[in-house]
Amino acid sequence: MEFKLMPGGTLSGEVRVPGDKSISHRSIMLGALAEGTTRVSGFLEGEDALATVAAFRAMGVRIEGPEDGEVEIHGVGLHGLKAPSHALDVGNSGTTIRLLSGLLAGQGFDVELTGDVSLQKRPMGRVMDPLARMGARISGTDGKPPLKIAGGQALKGIHYDLPMASAQVKSCVLLAGLYAEGRTSVTEPAPTRDHTERMLRGFGYDVKNDNGVISLAGGGCLQGAEIDVPADISSAAFFLVAASIAPGSDLLLTHVGINPTRIGVINILTLMGADIQLKHEREVGGEPVADIRVRYAPLKGIDIPEDQVPLAIDEFPALFIAAACAEGRTVLRGAEELRVKESDRIAAMAEGLTTLGVKNEVLDDGIIIEGGTLGGGVIHTYHDHRIAMAFAIAALRAEQEIRVLDCDHVATSFPGFDALARGLGLQVSALAD
């Protein structure tokens, strides 16, 4: 599938984007390992989250749904998973494979984790190394999937200093710690999303955070819970940027998760001059939520504060479009993590911006973008859903038609993106390749 986008447009209306992908993944994982039943509402029915559902079904967990965002998980307890009859194929989901690596390291059976062509290019050494230190036996192909995990290993708690800020690596180590003897702790160089810690507490598991050292003891148990998944700020980010760059826009995004470890996109856009207001702030199921009103405002280029980078790591493709539409220069440093996402997002976005006539300079750990006029052209997404959606919203300020190729992966995180965007004012058509 490809997107064909006509230039221009104004966004208006009220919308609730799909549920948070990070929370949806974790609700299935912890619900499966809990005692009793877990009920989830607002679940993201995207391909990535559905891959997690399929993996736990293959290990003997009865999961009803999802249907209209409702899921019921009949937990089997920490030691109730069964050996799957085949390799677990998690598709394009890096979250699934990295978090499952931690959970499966403590099981009594052998298992293989694999995924699509894109996932098989992604480095897994960052989870393999700490798991090996805990006593796991895990191997890959040059440090990449497929991963083979040997069962029956006695794990021991460790303290691990994360070499770079990564919620996936932190979560992997903590989830392995559920099965380890003693205490497992992690120190991160900068705060990352804390959905795993919050949700573990929601399932009744004691997780401590002492001055940035996050820890838990093995040998406990999880109790079934009720989970209301807020709208995903990573999905909302595309519309936050879209309304900010399209003159005349006025948009309300409802029930959006505003976890303080995830609001870098709001902070950065505000520094650029965006008109963003948080309304009806509240807490739902342990997660802060708000309605977000965003209206068009002229943006200016900035030096993005490095302390905001981990808080916006998934939102940078959208933010690069904001930078391209801003007056002046935007500089991003300290974002090496972007090179090992579904694609090398720095290289892929730089290539697309160049296609549209936007001057940029690629750095080892970031990019410099000169704001200016956007033209048109054909964009290659490298099978990355966020690259596809970023260049879709770029059409709002483009002077010519944009074609975005290989958009099938948009469904991994945002099923129905094109229809929703069209309803709000984006001139997008989804075409067969």
pLDDT in tens, 349-368: 999 999 999 999 999 999 99
Measure Cα distances from 136 to 111, 168, 324 in Å: 12, 17, 45
Q: What percent of the chain has pLDDT over 90?
A: 91
Report the distance separating Cα 201 and Cα 189, nearest Å: 23
- Assess whether 344 carries a catalytic annotation: no
219 band by pLDDT with thresholds 50, 70 and 90? very high
- How would you write 368-398 as a 3-class SS string? EEECCCECCEEECCCCCHHHHHHHHHHHHHE
- Tell whether the model's pLDDT for residue 342 goes beyond 90: no
Report the distance separating Cα 173 and Cα 270, nearest Å: 34
**Edge-to-edge strands, sheet with 287-295:** 12-15, 250-257, 287-295, 275-284
Report the distance separating Cα 5 and Cα 389, nearest Å: 11
- Tell whether the model's pLDDT for residue 421 goes beyond 90: yes
Cβ atoms 398, 356 nearer than 8 A: yes
Cβ atoms 398, 29 nearer than 8 A: no
Residue 38: its pLDDT value, please? Answer: 98
Residue 356: its pLDDT value, please? Answer: 98
Measure Cα distances from 83 to 27, 42, 56, 146, 384 in Å: 21, 29, 10, 17, 31
Averaged confidence pLDDT in the chain: 95
- Tell whether the model's pLDDT for residue 5 goes beyond 90: yes
Weakest mean pLDDT among 44-53, 249-258, 337-346: 337-346
- How would you write the chain as a 3-class SS string? CEEEECCCCCCEEEECCCECHHHHHHHHHHHHHCECEEEEECCCCCHHHHHHHHHHHHCCCEEEEEECCEEEEECCCCCCCCCCCCCEECCCCHHHHHHHHHHHCCCCCCEEEECCCCHHHCCCHHHHHHHHHCCCEEEEECCEEEEEEECCCCCECCEEECCCCCHHHHHHHHHHHCCCECEEEEECCCCCCCHHHHHHHHCCCCCEEECCEEEEECCCCCECCEEECCECHHHHHHHHHHHHHCCCCEEEEEEEECCCCCCHHHHHHHHCCCEEEEEEEEEECCEEEEEEEEECCCCECCECCHHHCHHHHHHHHHHHHHHHHCECEEEECCCHHHHHCCCCHHHHHHHHHHHCCCCEEEECCEEEEECCCECCEEECCCCCHHHHHHHHHHHHHECCCEEECCCHHHHHCCCCHHHHHHHHCCCEEEECC
Weakest mean pLDDT among 50-59, 108-117, 281-290, 414-423: 281-290
- Tell whether the model's pLDDT for residue 343 goes beyond 90: no
Residue 346: its pLDDT value, please? Answer: 96
Residue 339: its pLDDT value, please? Answer: 85
Average pLDDT over residues 240-254: 98
Residue bearing the bigger pLDDT, 191 or 250 = 250
Residue 165: its pLDDT value, please? Answer: 85
- Tell whether the model's pLDDT for residue 321 goes beyond 80: yes
Residue 285: its pLDDT value, please? Answer: 76
Residue 430: its pLDDT value, please? Answer: 86
- Other CB atoms within a 10 A radius of the CB of residue 260 amount to 12
337 band by pLDDT with thresholds 50, 70 and 90? confident
Residue 191: its pLDDT value, please? Answer: 87
Measure Cα distances from 87 to 47, 97, 111 in Å: 18, 12, 7
- Tell whether the model's pLDDT for residue 11 goes beyond 80: yes
Residue 137: its pLDDT value, please? Answer: 98
- Tell whether the model's pLDDT for residue 433 goes beyond 90: no
Q: Which of 89, 314, 384, 406 is catalytic?
A: 314
pLDDT in tens, 124-160: 999 999 999 999 999 998 999 999 999 999 999 999 9
Residue 74: its pLDDT value, please? Answer: 98
Weakest mean pLDDT among 108-112, 251-255, 338-342, 413-417: 338-342
Residue 190: its pLDDT value, please? Answer: 86
